[in-house]
């Protein structure tokens, strides 16, 4: 992935938007984050501050009672703080563990509103897999943003605390100091120190940008290898055994390693960062040490405070470096964050109207394709050309034609997965784009050829939505003729499908799975039922039987049966014949077959051999 140059403002926007998303991905995280940061920040300062007081007391008043109290408060306070800190960081850790799953769920959620064409676009699929691989192998993207932003928050807190504990160092000392010690009360000391500090921040930042650009991203190099490994993980057990794929896989896995040149490159980048960023820091430290030591020498501050300031100043400087370095890392990580947002922001150009779809008990809906032509995105080929077609309500329509003649595409247009390139589709005389999208989609129940069952229970596969109406599930299963089989299973409709996750689940045969998919279509109880060759894997006679049975069960609805096998659709009131994207014939089986010059006649005779029992 290229890491293009972004302006500071663009980077800040990405970071802010990324932080805004945590609340959705990890709700409740911030509730623990703020106290956890406060406690972990207080943890080192608490004993530091109190031991300075102890030393001051030891080298000053030497009041035994005060000494004992200070010692007791230091020990118990530190103990309690560390217990609290452990508890809070444990909570944060537990919450972070959920990040991977929640992150994926977040993507799923966004995909719900994607325009369908993105789901069929291989570039979009690649983008998604890159986002997930980056997340799962190196946490790059939103997770790194979360971790570094959290560290930066700690750095800022540390800055505030250490600066406030150090402020008293710059209080004006009593007495006049001239000559060598004149600088102790010089009004210039603070501006000079701030100038040094600013110079140090700039130098460190530039060094960190250079270092971040030089780092070899070992994790993403490994991710590339990891992606290759997935090819084996998808292999079936039986292939593994028969072709001894394991041996090839293991030999390949052994070749994948962290290369010494990657490590050397990172060590060089580290060294360069240290050499570039340390000199100004060292100078600053010398000036600060000199200033503090001079004050202690003159007795302006106690020995305990001298120790305290050494500690707080060091922590202050470290926090500045860490903040600067982390900012560089955040900017580097932004290339991954940007890709996540590019994915989430994929444009949805589909026009969504606001008309309500009339709910009609009499199912008086009428659909008309008016001079519809269509090209897929990124293609110049006309898949459908000048299609004019009306559906008679309450009847059934068959769409037949050879593979590739455009039947599925026609249904995708009907269901608004795509909009026509030219022409219109009308529902009760009104362009379908003008209806509310969700309501319009609610009119259709479709079983496509590549339907998928999930590794959940039969009930959830049929109902898809929650809560499950179990009686309705049984009714649908009975209507497609698989009720008895399911009733015979120990767990009935609660049996899981496939053996991926549950030991007591059942592997249903291809035909049984198709029936479950049909039951799902019935469960939705939509006015339009569409079967788009979910039975293609069956032999022609079995398909014809399933279609005929399904037709019996949905007699009250408008249904569309699609097949490249004419015999499956013989029973339909009306048959539309497609050829190379055009509607070439329409009529009942008998009238179509009577036309000896027609496509239907030609296809019927070509296929006839398969139907002779
Ligand atoms: P059928 O259902 O009659 O077998 P389809 O509607 O699936 O035919 O396909 C019609 C034509 O559209 C075919 O040439 C197919 O290659 C092409 N096609 C199908 N889906 C896509 C797509 N997503 N992008 C580009 N072309 C496609």
Q: What is the DSSP string of 186-197?
A: -TTHHHHHHHHH
Distance 445 CA to ligand 1 centre (A): 21
CA-based torsion, 63, 69, 70, 75: positive or negative? positive
Ligand 1 atom nearest 117 alpha carbon: 23
At the top level of CATH, which class does the domain 8-26+98-344 belong to? mainly alpha
Q: 83 pLDDT exceeds 90?
A: yes
Contact 134, 277 (CB under 8 A): no
What is the C-alpha to C-alpha distance for residues 267 and 263, in angstroms, rounded to an integer? 6
- Listed residue (66, 223, 76, 212) closest to 139, CA to CA: 223
Q: How high is the pLDDT of residue 313?
A: 92
In this predicted model, what pLDDT tens digit does every residue of 250-294 receive, in sequence order? 877 777 778 888 889 889 988 998 899 889 889 889 989 989 999
Q: How high is the pLDDT of residue 591?
A: 94
Instruction: Return the SS3 of 367.
Output: strand
**For ligand 1, mutation pick of 117, 402, 408, 565 (most atoms within 8 Å of CB):** 408
CA-based torsion, 239, 243, 249, 250: positive or negative? positive
- Listed residue (600, 556, 608, 553) closest to 574, CA to CA: 600
Q: What is the DSSP string of 522-569?
A: HHHT-SEEEEESTTTTS-HHHHHHHHHHHHHHTTTSEEEEEES-GGGG
Nearest CA to ligand 1 atom 13: 404
Ligand 1 atom nearest 379 alpha carbon: 25
Count the Cβ atoms, other than its own, within 10 Å of residue 139: 20
**For ligand 1, mutation pick of 399, 406, 583 (most atoms within 8 Å of CB):** 406
Banded pLDDT at 581 (limits 50, 70, 90)? very high
In this predicted model, what pLDDT tens digit does every residue of 112-170 receive, in sequence order? 888 999 988 888 888 888 888 888 877 889 999 999 999 999 999 999 999 998 988 88
Q: CB-based contacts of 465: which residues, under 8 Å, 6+ apart?
A: none
Nearest CA to ligand 1 atom 23: 120
Distance 403 CA to ligand 1 centre (A): 9
**Helices marked H in 345-419:** 407-414
φ/ψ region of 141 (left if φ > 0, alpha if ψ in -120 to 50, else beta) reads left
Q: CB-based contacts of 104: which residues, under 8 Å, 6+ apart?
A: 132
Query: Strands of 582-587's sheet, edge to edge?
Result: 444-447, 528-532, 558-563, 396-401, 574-579, 582-587
- Return the DSSP state at 179: G
What is the C-alpha to C-alpha distance for residues 330 and 20, in angstroms, rounded to an integer? 15
284 compared with 3, residue with greater pLDDT: 284
Nearest CA to ligand 1 atom 5: 406
**Cα-Cα end-to-end distance for the chain:** 58
Residues of the chain above pLDDT 90, percent? 37
Q: How high is the pLDDT of residue 75?
A: 92
Distance 406 CA to ligand 1 centre (A): 6
Distance 288 CA to ligand 1 centre (A): 74
CA-based torsion, 450, 453, 459, 464: positive or negative? negative
Distance 557 CA to ligand 1 centre (A): 27
Ligand 1 atom nearest 411 alpha carbon: 6
Q: 15 pLDDT exceeds 60?
A: yes
Distance 399 CA to ligand 1 centre (A): 15
Distance 376 CA to ligand 1 centre (A): 8
Q: How high is the pLDDT of residue 1?
A: 53
Ligand 1 atom nearest 120 alpha carbon: 23
Q: 18 pLDDT exceeds 60?
A: yes
Distance 581 CA to ligand 1 centre (A): 10
324 compared with 542, residue with greater pLDDT: 324
Ligand 1 atom nearest 562 alpha carbon: 2
Distance 562 CA to ligand 1 centre (A): 14
Nearest CA to ligand 1 atom 24: 376
Query: Residue 278 phi/psi, 5° resolution?
Result: -75, -40
Nearest CA to ligand 1 atom 21: 376
Q: 587 pLDDT exceeds 90?
A: yes
What is the C-alpha to C-alpha distance for residues 461 and 195, in angstroms, rounded to an integer? 67
CA-based torsion, 216, 222, 223, 225: positive or negative? positive
Distance 55 CA to ligand 1 centre (A): 83
Distance 410 CA to ligand 1 centre (A): 10
CA atoms within 13 A on the CB side of 603: 22
Q: 349 pLDDT exceeds 90?
A: no
Q: 502 pLDDT exceeds 70?
A: no
Q: 2 pLDDT exceeds 60?
A: no
Contact 128, 122 (CB under 8 A): no
Q: What is the 3 state secondary structure string of 16-76?
A: HHHHHHHHHHCCCHHHHHHHHHHHHHHHHHHHHHHHHHHHHHHCCCCCHHHHHHHHHHHHH
Q: What residue segments make up the domains of the chain, in order of their start? A: 8-26+98-344, 451-525
Q: Mean pLDDT across the stretch 489-495?
A: 89
In this predicted model, what pLDDT tens digit does every residue of 88-125 receive, in sequence order? 999 999 988 888 889 989 998 888 888 999 988 888 88
What is the C-alpha to C-alpha distance for residues 552 and 289, in angstroms, rounded to an integer? 92
Q: How high is the pLDDT of residue 55?
A: 87
Instruction: Return the SS3 of 301.
Output: coil
Radius of gyration of the chain (CA): 36
- Listed residue (113, 331, 99, 365) closest to 209, CA to CA: 331
Ligand 1 atom nearest 403 alpha carbon: 4
Domain 451-525 sits in CATH 3.30.559.30: no
Distance 5 CA to ligand 1 centre (A): 40
Q: Mean pLDDT across the stretch 394-412?
A: 92
Q: Mean pLDDT across the stretch 559-574?
A: 88
Distance 539 CA to ligand 1 centre (A): 23
Written as six digits, the tokens of 283 are: 């100078």
Q: How high is the pLDDT of residue 562?
A: 93
Ligand 1 atom nearest 449 alpha carbon: 2
Distance 208 CA to ligand 1 centre (A): 51
- Return the DSSP state at 298: T
In this predicted model, what pLDDT tens digit does every residue of 203-262 receive, in sequence order? 888 888 888 778 777 766 766 666 666 666 666 677 777 777 777 778 777 777 788 888
Query: Residue 423 phi/psi, 5° resolution?
Result: 85, -175
Q: How high is the pLDDT of residue 374?
A: 97
Q: How high is the pLDDT of residue 362?
A: 59
Q: How high is the pLDDT of residue 178?
A: 76
Count the Cβ atoms, other than its own, within 10 Å of residue 283: 13
Nearest CA to ligand 1 atom 12: 383
CA-based torsion, 282, 287, 291, 296: positive or negative? positive
Query: Strands of 422-427's sheet, edge to edge?
Result: 382-390, 367-375, 422-427, 430-431
Nearest CA to ligand 1 atom 16: 404
The residues lining ligand 1, judged by C-beta closer than 6 Å to any ligand atom, are 120, 376, 379, 383, 401, 403-409
**For ligand 1, mutation pick of 383, 531, 535 (most atoms within 8 Å of CB):** 383
**For ligand 1, mutation pick of 378, 409, 448 (most atoms within 8 Å of CB):** 409
Residue tagged 């896989």 (tokens): 249
Burial of 500 (C-beta count, 10 Å sphere; 0-12/13-18/19+): exposed
What is the C-alpha to C-alpha distance for residues 552 and 478, in angstroms, rounded to an integer? 13
In this predicted model, what pLDDT tens digit does every residue of 459-474 receive, in sequence order? 999 998 888 899 999 9
534 compared with 412, residue with greater pLDDT: 412
Q: What's the chain's average pLDDT?
A: 87
Nearest CA to ligand 1 atom 11: 404
* Maximum Cα–Cα distance across the chain: 120
**Counts of helices then strands in the chain (DSSP H, E):** 22, 10
Helix H or strand E encompassing 181? none
Q: 61 pLDDT exceeds 70?
A: yes
- Listed residue (525, 518, 412, 532) closest to 461, CA to CA: 518
């Amino acid at each position: 992935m290229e890491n293009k140059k972004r302006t500071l403002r663009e980077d800040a926007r990405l970071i802010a938007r990324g932080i805004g998303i945590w609340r959705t991905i990890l709700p409740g995280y911030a509730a623990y984050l703020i106290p956890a940061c406060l406690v972990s920040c207080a943890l080192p300062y608490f004993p530091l501050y109190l031991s300075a007081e102890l030393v001051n007391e030891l080298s000053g008043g030497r009041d035994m009672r005060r000494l004992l109290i200070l010692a007791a408060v230091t020990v118990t306070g530190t103990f309690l703080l560390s217990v609290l800190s452990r508890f809070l960081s444990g909570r944060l850790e537990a919450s972070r563990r959920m990040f991977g799953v929640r992150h994926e769920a977040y993507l799923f959620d966004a995909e719900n509103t994607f325009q369908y064409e993105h789901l069929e676009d291989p570039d979009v699929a690649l983008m998604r897999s890159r986002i997930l691989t980056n997340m799962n192998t190196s946490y790059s993207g939103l997770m790194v943003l979360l971790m570094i932003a959290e560290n930066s928050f700690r750095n800022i807190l540390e800055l505030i605390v250490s600066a406030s504990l150090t402020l008293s160092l710059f209080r004006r000392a009593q007495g006049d100091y001239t000559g060598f010690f004149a600088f102790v009360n010089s009004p210039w000391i603070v501006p000079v120190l701030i100038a040094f500090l600013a110079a140090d921040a700039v130098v460190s930042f530039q060094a960190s940008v250079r270092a971040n650009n030089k780092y070899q991203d070992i994790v993403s190099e490994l991710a590339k290898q990891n992606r290759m490994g997935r090819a084996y993980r998808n292999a079936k057990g039986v292939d593994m055994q028969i072709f001894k794929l394991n041996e090839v896989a293991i030999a390949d896995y052994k070749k994948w390693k962290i290369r010494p040149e990657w490590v050397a490159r990172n060590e060089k980048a580290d060294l360069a960062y240290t050499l570039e960023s340390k000199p100004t820091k060292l100078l600053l430290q010398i000036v600060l040490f000199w200033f503090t030591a001079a004050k202690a020498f003159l007795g302006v501050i106690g020995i305990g405070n001298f120790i305290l300031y050494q500690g707080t100043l060091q922590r202050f400087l470290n926090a500045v470096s860490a903040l600067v370095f982390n900012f560089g890392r955040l900017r580097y990580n932004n290339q991954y964050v940007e890709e996540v947002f590019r994915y989430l922001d994929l444009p949805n150009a589909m026009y969504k109207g606001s008309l309500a779809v009339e709910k009609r008990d009499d199912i008086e809906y009428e659909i008309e394709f008016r001079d519809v032509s269509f090209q897929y995105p990124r293609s110049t080929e006309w898949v459908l050309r000048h299609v004019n077609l009306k559906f008679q309500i309450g009847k059934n329509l068959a769409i037949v034609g050879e593979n590739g003649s455009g039947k599925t595409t026609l249904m995708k247009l009907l269901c608004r997965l795509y909009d026509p390139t030219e022409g219109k589709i009308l529902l009760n005389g009104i362009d379908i784009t003008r209806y509310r999208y969700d309501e319009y989609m609610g009119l259709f129940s479709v079983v496509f050829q590549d339907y998928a069952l999930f590794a959940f229970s039969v009930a959830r596969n049929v109902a898809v939505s929650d809560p499950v109406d179990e009686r309705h599930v049984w009714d649908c299963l009975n209507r497609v003729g698989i009720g008895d089989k399911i009733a015979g299973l120990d767990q009935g409709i609660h049996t899981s499908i496939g053996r991926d996750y549950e030991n007591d689940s059942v592997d249903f045969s291809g035909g049984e799975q198709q029936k479950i998919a049909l039951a799902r279509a019935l469960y939705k109880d939509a006015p339009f039922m569409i079967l788009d060759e979910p039975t293609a894997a069956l032999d022609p006679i079995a398909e014809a039987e399933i279609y005929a049975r399904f037709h019996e069960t949905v007699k009250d609805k408008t249904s569309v049966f699609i097949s490249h096998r004419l015999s499956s659709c013989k029973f339909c009131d009306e048959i539309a014949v497609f050829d190379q994207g055009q509607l070439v014939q329409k009529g009942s089986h008998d009238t179509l077959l009577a036309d000896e010059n027609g496509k239907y006649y030609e296809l019927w005779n070509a296929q006839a051999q398969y139907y002779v029992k």
